[in-house]
Amino acid sequence: MRAFTPLCRAWYEQVKAFFIRLHGHQSKTLALFVLGAIRAESIVIQRVAEALLAESHAKASSIERRLERFLSNDRIKTEETWNDLLEEVMPFFREKPIHLVIDLTSYEEHAQVIYIGLLQQSRVLPLV
C-alpha cells in the first residue's frame, strides 16, 4: 500500500476515531472500501478495487481479495460496529424532526426488500 493521499489519510483517521472497536487494519480497510465505493459509485467489489488503484501499488485482484476477506471476517461484529456509528451520528438529530424513508423493492416474483433509512438533506442513511 502506498502512502495515502491527503484525502484518504483524513478519511482513515475519521473512520478510526468512529470505530474504536475495530483493529487498525480493519478500520483502514473499511475506510478504503467506503472511499472506493464513493469513487466507483458502486459497491461491486471489482469496481471498488479498480477505483482504489490510485491508493495502492497492488493489483485490482489483490485489492478485491482484501475487501472480500474484510467482508467475510467473522471477528468483525457488524451489529456492534453499526451501533458505534449510530452513537456518533444520532446525537446530531436530537430534538430535530426526523424523516424516515421506506423503500419497497421487488425481488424476483416472490419477495420484496424493505429498506428503511433516515433522510438527511438529499441523502439517506440506512437504518434497517
pTM: 0.68
For residue 2, what pLDDT is reported? 55
For residue 3, what pLDDT is reported? 59
**C-alpha cell recorded at residue 62:** 489483490
Structural contact between residues 32 and 50, judged by C-beta atoms closer than 8 angstroms: no
Task: Provide the residue type at 17 as one letter.
Answer: A
Label residue 108 exposed, middle or buried (CB < 10 Å: 0-12, 13-18, 19+): exposed
Q: Which residues of 7-23 are buried (b: 16+ CB within 10 A; e: fewer)?
A: ebeebbeebbebbeebe
Residue 97, sorted as left (phi over 0), alpha (psi -120 to 50) or beta, turns out to be: beta
For residue 24, what pLDDT is reported? 86
Query: Which positions of the chain have pLDDT values less than 50?
Result: 1
For residue 72, what pLDDT is reported? 92
Structural contact between residues 35 and 8, judged by C-beta atoms closer than 8 angstroms: yes
Strand blocks (E) in the chain: 99-107, 111-120, 123-126
**What does the angle CA 74 – CA 63 – CA 17 come to, to the nearest 5 degrees?**
60
Q: Which of 6, 60, 51, 4 is nearest to 28 (CA)?
A: 4
31, containing H or E segment: helix 24-40
